């Protein structure tokens, strides 16, 4: 998040610290300028629970976490279908979510990075 309250996703090779208020580092990129990352193969058997974040053309962000094991290609496709220009993989099989609005209360295990919304 920038000091102007704009969300963004950038490859580390293009990242600049100027104006950044909050950031996290993760990867790989799922979508790059609306295209699925070339590293991913359709039909891959590399399946895990996955979560990520995407940025829509209007600057809004989408967080998603799979309920079932999914490959990177299909997970990236989800963000592409939502209209995201960029999307970033955040975490895998150790993912947890606490979201009372959808009655999801996973309080097991330890947590690393925590992303929260006041809305």
Give the position of tokens 């079932």: 68
Mean of pLDDT over the chain = 81
- Structure-model confidence comparison of residues 15 and 30, the more confident one: 30
pTM of the predicted model as reported, rounded to 2 decimal places: 0.77
Which residues touch 44 (CB under 8 Å, ≥6 apart)? 71, 72, 73
- Structure-model confidence comparison of residues 97 and 68, the more confident one: 68
* Predicted pLDDT of residue 27: 75
For 88, other C-beta atoms within 10 Å of its C-beta total 21
**Secondary structure letter of residue 102 according to DSSP:** G
pLDDT at 118 over 60: no
Top-confidence range, 5-9, 44-48, 61-65: 44-48
| H or E segment and range at residue 72 | helix 72-82
């Amino acid at each position: 998040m920038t000091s102007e309250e704009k969300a963004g996703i950038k490859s580390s090779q293009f990242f600049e610290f100027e104006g950044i208020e909050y950031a996290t580092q993760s990867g790989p990129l799922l979508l790059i300028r609306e295209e699925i990352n070339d590293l991913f193969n359709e039909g891959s058997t590399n399946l895990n629970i996955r979560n990520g974040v995407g940025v829509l053309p209007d600057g809004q962000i989408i967080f998603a976490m799979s309920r079932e094991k999914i490959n990177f290609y299909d997970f990236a496709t989800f963000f592409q279908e939502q209209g995201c220009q960029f999307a970033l993989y955040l975490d895998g099989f150790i993912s947890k979510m606490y979201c009372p609005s959808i009655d999801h209360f996973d309080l097991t295990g330890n947590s690393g990075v925590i992303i929260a919304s006041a809305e």
